[in-house]
Chains A and B, each alone.
Chain A
Amino acid sequence: MTESPCVWVYAVADDAAPAFTGGQISVGGGAVRPLSAAGLTAIVGSVARSEFGEAALRQNLEDLEWLERTARAHHEVIETVAKEHPAVPMRLATVYSSDEAVAGMLRERAADLRQALTRLTGRSEWGVKAHVAMPDDSAAGQQPETDDPASGPGAAYLRRRRAQLTASQDARREAVASAQTVHEELDRLAASARLYPPQSPEIAGHSGSMVLNAAYLVAGDRAEEFGAAVTELAARHGALQLTLTGPWPAYSFVGQDVTEDAG
């Protein structure tokens, strides 16, 4: 290997970030280190060009196992940093050709990065997903048979099937309306909110369809209130299964498309 390595950027913290030594896990297995310029500190690691150069990266991103390993390592380092300091996470696969290039980016983007750091300071991201609680098929099957025997078993089956479908459509409608209420109430407790597209049932490994996939940026001193609100909303909306994830590093609230609410 005579090629010079590339530089993977995990996150940017303010100048107060200490010399970060990191844990055992990193993208590509190399050391994680701080790189300072313009009063900001990028958390970076050297990665092999043969695996993380542009052509290799494109190919590797199509490999789910590679993608998972890399995404988890990226996240692990960011989370370790973000526990101690406000840190702006970089999107996966932000790779530079040299330390000098990273320093140049810090100088060029210093104002934006500082603004993002200010927005995140003292706040955490929480994820809330809602699935339709599926109507119990076995209960529908237990409806008493009141069919006229003359109409035959085929007609009875069709009637039962129609009742099941109606129940399932009603459940979905109710769930969508409930999800809207849940989102509005949680948004009120959050500084910002972001809606992601629903995850498909196959990928999410969940049977009911997803009707809410949201992220909320919540002040540290409101985190408990936020968690309690999720619990309370889950109890109030039986048509939904709510899942709370987090706290996350503020991945969802560092882009330019983020708008600030009150709170």
Chain B
Amino acid sequence: MSEVPSATARYHPAIREERVALVDLLDRVLAGGVVIIGDVTLSIADVDLVTVSLRALVTSVSALVEGADVSQENS
């Protein structure tokens, strides 16, 4: 959410994060959204995907994620 809609920008800047954190986004795009089984998604859009991707996240914790968070706070 690099562009905050003006109608909501005035809310509580003190506790509001202005940029989407990757971890919040992954919660939603991997565990939320409509799941439709078909074609290529046949074996991808199930629970397996969450497991796969969380493994990627957990094993890559390191600089990539932390670096991104630091730059968010400074921007």
Contacts and interface: CB of A to CB of B under 8 A. Distances in A.
Nearest to A75: B25
B49 A252 contact: no
A67 B59 CA distance: 13
B52 A83 contact: no
Contacts of B52: 58, 61-62
Interface string B12-54: 1011110011111111111111111011111111000100110
B7 to A, nearest CB: 9
A57 B60 CA distance: 18
Contacts of A52: 40
B62 to A, nearest CB: 9
Nearest to B3: A79
Interface residues of B, number: 48
B57 A245 contact: no
Contact of A205 (B31, B49, B69): B69
Contacts of B22: 68, 71-72
Among A93, A205, A231: residue with most chain B CB under 10 A: A205
Contacts, number: 171
Interface in A39-71: 52-54, 57-58, 61-65, 67-68, 71
B33 A71 contact: no
Interface string A72-85: 10110001000100
B75 interface: no
Given A61-B49, A61-B56, A95-B41, A83 B65 contact: no
A234 interface: yes
A63 B32 contact: no
A244 B15 contact: yes
A215 B42 CA distance: 27
A106 to B, nearest CB: 10
Given A96-B41, A113-B34, A231-B12, A62 B20 contact: no
Contacts of A227: 11-12
A91 B11 contact: no
B38 A96 contact: yes
Interface stretch (A139-147, A180-188, A195-203): A195-203
Contact of A203 (B30, B36, B57): B57
Nearest to B29: A92
Given A96-B40, A96-B41, A196-B27, A254 B16 contact: no
Contact of A67 (B15, B39, B56, B66): B56
B39 A97 contact: yes
Interface of A: 6, 9, 12, 52-54, 57-58, 61-65, 67-68, 71-72, 74-75, 79, 83, 88-97, 101, 104-105, 109, 112-113, 116, 127, 129, 194, 196, 199-200, 202-205, 213, 215, 223-224, 227-228, 230-231, 234, 242-248, 251-255
